[in-house]
Amino acid sequence: MALYDAEQMVYGKKHFKDDAEFQGRATFTGGKRLNGKAVTAAYTFTDTDGIEFLLVTTGATAMTMTLPTAKDNTGRTITIRKMDTGAGKITVDGEGSETIDGNLTVGIWYVNNFLTFLCTGTAWLIVGAPQPFMIPHALRASSWELSAGTAAAFTDAWGVGVANPYVPTGVKSLVLEAVSELTATNAAEAYVVTYLRKNGSTEAAGLRTNGPFFYISPAVAGCSYRHSHSGLMCACDANGIVEYQVTPANGVGKLYLTTVGYSMMG
């Protein structure tokens, strides 16, 4: 390893074949060029390949990109980006049982989505990602993922234990389109309150999100009313699961949900 502890003036190119450590400030007046690689197949990073970003074209084929051994790459950052609209999904895997933000794998599913990873020496963290990433319209659900949900107690939105099929593993929160519906049963005042929260959480954890709410007075018995909420964000578990609850008064309440985006960072 080369060690530089005094001022160095370099004209032209300088190649470091091994590690170089700079104690103090390093200034690059011509800009710093990152070492990148474009691939169309699965790739396994090595300790010595020096790759800082990987541009992946999947086509229709699912592919796995494997990060290098954590203990030999402390402080290293790697960015992986999906370059095409092909249906192939990228899985990013840590070596062996090494984790990425606590997960064995995370996913990059849609064109122009990317993740940046930082190695701690024992694991990898996600330190960069679109915030949030919006799912392309053509790839969203064609109908409500939760249609006419009426659960009075918190219930998994997509079915008990069912992962959200529109987001990759490792997701932290969802961007949802939400509509609440109330069918009044009499002419008194009527309302519906809806809530969302991360799967398995409790209200005490501060993770409950208010869904669409509305109040009608007077109501017309037998009439249905709807209220929509766009861009509603809610924490979810690593499989994109949220729980919902519907609380009506003087009527029948329902909730409709579909996923339009997500975040891979907390």
- How far apart are the C-alpha atoms of 8 and 264, rounded to whole Å? 40
Q: Residue 199 carries which DSSP code? A: T
For each of the domains in the chain, give its residue range(s) and CATH number, in order of start. Answer: 2-129 (2.60.120), 137-263 (2.60.120)
Name every residue whose Cβ is closer than 8 Å to that of residue 145 and which is 6 or more positions away in sequence.
157, 158, 164, 166, 257, 258, 259
pLDDT at 73: 97
Q: How many helices (H) and strands (E) in the chain?
A: 0, 21
CA distance 244 to 70: 38
Q: Are 115 and 129 contacting, i.e. CB atoms less than 8 angstroms apart?
A: yes
Q: Are 259 and 226 in contact (CB under 8 A)?
A: no
Q: Which of 194, 150, 199, 151 is nearest to 171 (CA)?
A: 199
CB-based burial label for 214 (10 Å; 0-12, 13-18, 19+): middle
Can you give the pLDDT of all 266 residues of the chain as single tens digits?
A: 555 555 666 666 666 666 666 666 666 666 667 799 999 999 999 999 999 999 999 999 999 999 999 999 999 999 999 999 999 999 999 999 999 999 999 999 999 999 999 999 999 999 999 989 999 999 999 999 999 999 999 999 999 999 999 999 999 999 999 999 999 998 888 999 999 999 999 876 666 888 888 888 888 888 999 999 989 999 999 999 999 999 999 999 999 999 999 999 87
The C-alpha atoms of residue 41 and residue 249 are separated, in whole angstroms, by 56
Q: Residues 182, 157: contact at Cβ < 8 Å?
A: no
